[in-house]
Amino acid sequence: MADHIVADGYKDVGYEYVCIDDCWPTKERGPDGRLVPDPDRFPSGMKALADYVHGKGLKLGIYEDFGHYTCGGYPGSEFYLKTDAQTFADWGIDLLKFDTCNSNHEDFTYGFPAMEFFLNQTGRPILFSCEWPHGESSSNFSAIRDTCNIWRTGADVQDSWDSVFGIIDFYANNKDNFSYYSGPGGWADPDMLVVGDFGLSYEQERTQFGMWAMFASPLLMSVDLRNIRNESKALLQNKNILAINQDPMGKQATLKMKMEDDNIYVFTRPLTNNRIAAAFVNKNNNGMPTRLTIKGSDVGLSNQNGYNVVDGFTAQSMGSFLPTSDIVVNVNPSGIVLFVATPK
């Protein structure tokens, strides 16, 4: 995957982490209490792998769990937080995904900050990717943001439209106002992109990628880059959408309104230089495209001199609009229309 990220142009547009998920170690710790990479899967060890990935100009991520066992039944970090943090630093790891299986959720308030402390004690910059809160209950997002660089917001994504739209719906509901806490230094994480896999149509892939960009989300591809379809690859490397995702303000899109019997969700996101991004998502995956007419002011266009509006995916002009102008969009079934408005 590291080879393909470089050779196939993903690194050139900004992708930089290669992340190993659960099930990478042996089932028992070594005699020194340290985790041991599976010798069949990683015969050269993690330090050699990290060196190889770094040699590509990329970074290596790894997985562990706050509990006694990981979700897959491998050794967790319970009672080994300091040891594991130092082990990852010694190996040259750049990102730690820290899960919550087989653990007491009441301990998260203490355990995740403890792991943050031990990671920082190593002196190595390691991005802390927390599965806290994972959407189990009401959460103190201020504390989560203080501890974590990126933090999961809800259930694991599945390779299906119902799952993807369920996450979009979760963001629309904005439980505990988590959008307020997401921004530079601490990002809400809706889970991985399944663009290029098997469960989504091309329209649905556009919707996931467009909305993950609107949410200022971490973009973690979950796809075999050796076999990805050309149209999915082009989508993941769409510089116009990536620019929205990476906008320096880092503001997360929030729901502006629902239309057409609540089947069309309208999100807006402020961008730098007083620009506004607006996205229309069609919940339905049947029938014909839905035609909508809205006023510019309905999506936050307030500049009386008007706006130049371009398609978010193609950067092609959609025209100039005033706050009082009608904007007409046709949203495909389970599709998205996304535009960026720049004030004149």
**Catalytic residue IDs:** 99, 156
Measured CA to CA, the distance from residue 127 to residue 112 in angstroms comes to: 13
Question: In the numeric block, which tokens belong to residue 4?
Answer: 């393909």
- Supply φ then ψ for residue 337, to 5 degrees: -115, 125
Element (H, E) at 129: strand 127-130
> Which amino acid, 25?
P
Distance between first and last Cα of the chain: 43
Helix, strand, coil fractions of the chain, as percent rounded to 5: 30, 25, 45
Residue whose C-alpha is closest to residue 128's, from 75, 77, 174, 164? 77
Measured CA to CA, the distance from residue 299 to residue 266 in angstroms comes to: 8
User: Taking the C-alpha atoms of 169, 172, 177 and 181 in order, what is their torsion angle to the nearest 10 degrees?
Assistant: 90
Sign of CA pseudo-dihedral 215, 221, 191, 162 = positive
DSSP class of residue 69?
A: B
- Supply φ then ψ for residue 186, to 5 degrees: -160, 110
Residues 6+ apart with CB under 8 A from 231: 202
Burial of residue 296 (number of CB atoms within 10 Å: 0-12, 13-18, 19+): buried
